Structure 1
Amino acid sequence: MSELVSIITPSYNTVEFIKSTIDSVRSQSYTNWEMLVIDDCSTDDSATVIKDIIRNFNDERIKLFVNSKNSGAAVSRNKALALAKGKWIAFLDSDDLWKSDKLEKQITFMKNNGYHFSYTNYSEIDENSKSLGKLVSGPKKITKVGMYNYCWPGCLTVMYNADTIGIIQINDIKKNNDYAIWLKVIKKSNCYLLDENLAKYRKRKGSISNHSYYNLIKYHYLLFRKNENMNKFKSLIFTIRNLLFGILKKIKYVNIVHDKN
């Protein structure tokens, strides 16, 4: 456990969930980590709850930073990535959960196979932490072409080797900013699936997965246009490809399960 893991956690108004998220990190069997929580000027008590956790557990591995103004998840992730000191970079949003052996299994998987970029399966839960009966997977290997076709990895499952990949920064886009990071990383390494369910994604009202098709199209178009600097025609083509491969993912990689946990 000599290699540090930096966990990137943007936070905004998740007072109901942030303690459970941090608890899932503190329960990891792999203990050499730092959790960089960037609070984006929450209007609830999220920052206070995080401070209380740090003080009550005297856990200096949890590091809270508060933006000077509300700036969005892209700016928050950029800030955390710039501050990260770990060899391994992992991502966990402030309402999602990890299983206790997630870090240990994923690092072992990557080191044993010489991988620099990976993701895992995850299950879906609701706002009350009840299972929605869905297990989400993806391709065993994602190449650059495959990643541009669709955002296969769930953000809460991704890990990459910062020594190999380097520092990643993205443009200030309001949605799909996790996908924007993967599009930078995939240019330096293929992405591989650890075919185990090691995380829980909390599906909430207002999440991008619940947006209208119009908004999905708009956000994907802006991703390719602003973050990847594609022309209008190419941005539209890649947006259409994303929509088509999104249908494929639902057919091939989303499975109904009876998960009681």
Structure 2
Amino acid sequence: MKPKITIIMATYNRAHFILETLETIQNQSIVNWECLIIDDGGTDDTAEVLASILKQDLRLQFLHRPDSYQKGLPGCRNYGLDMAKGAYVIFFDDDDIVHPENLKIGLEVLETNNVDFCHYQKLAFETERPLIVNNPITFQQYLTKADIDKVVSQEIGLASCTVLWKKSCFNRVRFNENLLYAEEWECYSKLISENFKGVVISNVLYYNRKHANSNTGEFYSNNPIRRASKKEAILLVIKNLKEKQLLSSSLLRYFVTQATDFKEYNLFTQIITLLELSIFEKLKWQFFYSTFPLRLSVYKLKITFRKI
């Protein structure tokens, strides 16, 4: 039977977590799926750990990323997209927990509302396995290009593993393989700017494991590779928004604010150069950028005094 949904899972040295993740995928309430496990050149015993489960369940496939795709999550995911047989695709990480109704609910929302994607919520955990709760589907809102500000600023956080997509959404848009962090933010922002339409639901259908060795953990530990990638992702998102004439004043303010955290890359100057602003606009944003730390300190003081 041809799978209706393709699950794409990049993996790298996660032998100690991946079986638990795959078991929650096998426990999905619908069965018509395939799971492509894309090895990114790991050096642990993942292949040996998976040998038994791969024999038992042919829906699970263990593949090695070809050299024609760059090393990293984006390359693995792009390879998975090229190999996917399902009409729908979803990206799961190799160290998390998936709600048993994840695929069923996402598919029902997509088909009922005739949209391109379904975005649900996630819940973080560290060591203790989360309590799985079954709730009725709770509609939150439709999501379109008109909401690009909320997506880019992550007011609506389209995390890599919280969206079920029609595979056709990726016909022209792929993950940037030069990025080693924030690749899903850059990719998903571009997809929304292409005017694909989706539905946001309030249901928690995914549980992400927090640990220091994750890409996110490394970013917040000031890993220079992850930070440099986020800086590049910011510039790529700005370039795309500029080309599509979707860069609002509020979004530019957001990016300039972000630049204050990337002074080592001189990100503010790169943003201003990319946008080709007039002299007046340059001076206005230079003033905003220079005074932002002071205004932020005053704001925090006000919040503190209000709590006293």
TM-score grouping bracket, smaller chain normalisation: 0.7 to 0.9
Match of 1:194 among 183, 193, 201: 201
Alpha-carbon distance in structure 1 between the residues aligned to 2:2 and 2:129: 35
Retained in 1: the 8 A contact 2:2–2:85?
A: no
3-state DSSP class of the match of 2:233? helix
Post-superposition offset of 1:228: 6.4
Post-superposition offset of 1:242: 6.2
Deviates more, 1:156-165 or 1:23-32: 156-165
Question: How many residue pairs get matched?
Answer: 236
Post-superposition offset of 1:154: 2.6
Alpha-carbon distance in structure 1 between the residues aligned to 2:40 and 2:176: 17
Query: Which residue does 2:78 correspond to in 1?
Result: 78
Q: Which has more helix, going by share of residues?
A: 2
Retained in 2: the 8 A contact 1:96–1:156?
A: no
Superposed CA deviations along residues 53-86 of structure 1, whole A, max 9, x for unmatched, are 111x1x2211111125681111111110111111
3-state DSSP class of the match of 1:155? coil
TM norm structure 1: 0.77
Structure 2, unmatched stretches of 5+, are 132-139, 242-246, 261-308
Post-superposition offset of 1:144: 2.7
Alpha-carbon distance in structure 2 between the residues aligned to 1:200 and 1:156: 9
Q: Which has more strand, going by share of residues?
A: 1
Whether 1:155 and 2:165 are equivalent positions in the alignment is: no
Amino acid at match of 2:20: S
Whether 1:36 and 2:36 are equivalent positions in the alignment is: yes
Alpha-carbon distance in structure 2 between the residues aligned to 1:242 and 1:101: 37
Pairwise mapping of residues 1-261 of structure 1 onto structure 2 (< 5 A)?
4-55=4-55, 57=56, 59-68=57-66, 71-126=71-126, 128-131=127-130, 140-142=141-143, 143-150=147-154, 152-163=157-168, 166=171, 168-172=173-177, 173-186=179-192, 187-210=194-217, 211-212=219-220, 218-226=228-236, 229=239, 239-240=255-256
Deviates more, 1:23-32 or 1:162-171: 162-171
Amino acid at match of 1:189: F
Amino acid at match of 2:52: D
Alpha-carbon distance in structure 2 between the residues aligned to 1:222 and 1:176: 9
Alpha-carbon distance in structure 1 between the residues aligned to 2:108 and 2:52: 33
3-state DSSP class of the match of 1:195? strand
Post-superposition offset of 1:22: 0.8
Retained in 1: the 8 A contact 2:190–2:240?
A: no
Retained in 1: the 8 A contact 2:39–2:63?
A: yes
Alpha-carbon distance in structure 1 between the residues aligned to 2:151 and 2:200: 13
Alpha-carbon distance in structure 2 between the residues aligned to 1:207 and 1:198: 20
| Larger Rg, first or second structure (1 or 2) | 2
Retained in 1: the 8 A contact 2:176–2:187?
A: no
Root-mean-square deviation (Å): 3.4
Amino acid at match of 1:204: H
Post-superposition offset of 1:5: 0.1
Structure 1, unmatched stretches of 5+, are 133-138, 245-261
3-state DSSP class of the match of 2:10? strand
Post-superposition offset of 1:191: 3.4
Which of structures 1 and 2 has the larger relative contact order (alpha carbons within 8 angstroms, sep 6+)?
A: 1
3-state DSSP class of the match of 1:71? coil
TM norm structure 2: 0.66
